[in-house]
Amino acid sequence: MILTSATLTVTGRFEFIRQRLGLDHAKECALPPEFDFQQQALLYLPQKMPDVRDPGFAGKAADEIVQLLELSQGRAFCLFTSYSQMNDLFERVRTRVEFPLMLQGTAPRSVLLERFKNTPNAVLFATASFWQGVDVPGEQLSCVIVDRLPFAVPSDPIVAARVRALQDEGRNPFSEFQVPEAVLALMNRASGG
C-alpha cells in the first residue's frame, strides 16, 4: 500500500500517522513540499483577542475579519468550527464590507464553490466541510481566516475514546493526539488540501 498526502507528517515526521494506522514497519519518504510556505504564506495571530467563550469575542473577531478582508480585497474563506459562530460573524461582517459574501447553507457546497471561483473578490463563510478537498487555483483564494485552531471536539465519542485510551496507557493525549490532529488540519487548509 502506498499512502500519499501533503499532510501525512507532523514536524517532518511520520510517527503520528504510523501510530494512528498501527504501522510498525514501513518505508517512509517525505518530499519537499511544492507549496513554498516561506514565500507564499503568512500566519497572522491577532493580539489581545478575548477567549472564544467571552461575550466580547464575536465583536472583536468581526473587527479583525473586516480588516483582513480589506487587506486581501476579499478573496477569502472565513472558516468556523460551529454553524452558530459562522452565522453570527457573517451577520456582523456583511454590512461592513463591499465584497460579495457567500454563506454555507444557502446553496449546495459545489454551487457555492463554483460561485466563489467565478466571483471576483468573493468571501465565503463556511464550516469544516470546506477545510478539506477544496482547490481554488490562482489568487482568487488569497486569505483563509479561521476562528480558532481546529482541535477536535472533546465530546465527540471517537475523540473521547482515543483520549481515554492514551490516558490509560499513561500517555499525554493532548501532545500525542490533539495537537498533531490540529496541526494536520491547519496545514491541510494552508496548503489548499
Query: pTM value?
Result: 0.74
The domain of 79 spans: 42-190
Q: In this structure, is residue 17 part of a structural domain?
A: no
What residue type is 170 in one-letter code? G
Identify the pLDDT of residue 97.
Answer: 97
* Residue 34 forms part of a structural domain: no
Position 114 in a domain: yes
**129: domain CATH number?**
3.40.50.300
Would you state the pLDDT for residue 193? 45
Q: Give a yes or no: residue 35 inside a domain.
A: no
Residue 81 lies in a domain: yes
Domain count along the chain: 1
> pLDDT value at position 85?
92
With 0-12 / 13-18 / 19 or more C-beta atoms within 10 angstroms meaning exposed / middle / buried, residue 66 is middle
DSSP string, 27-50: ---PPPPSS-HHHH------TTPP
pLDDT for the residue 31 = 79
Residue 32 lies in a domain: no
Q: Which pLDDT belongs to residue 179?
A: 81
Q: Is 78 exposed, middle or buried (0-12, 13-18, 19+ CB in 10 A)?
A: buried
Averages of pLDDT over each 10 residues, the chain, 193 residues: 74 79 83 75 84 90 96 94 92 97 95 95 89 80 84 81 90 84 66 48
For residue 33, is it within any domain? no
Quote the pLDDT of residue 146.
87
Does 68 map to a domain? yes
The C-alpha atoms of residue 40 and residue 62 are separated, in whole angstroms, by: 25
- Lookup result for grid cell 454590512: 95
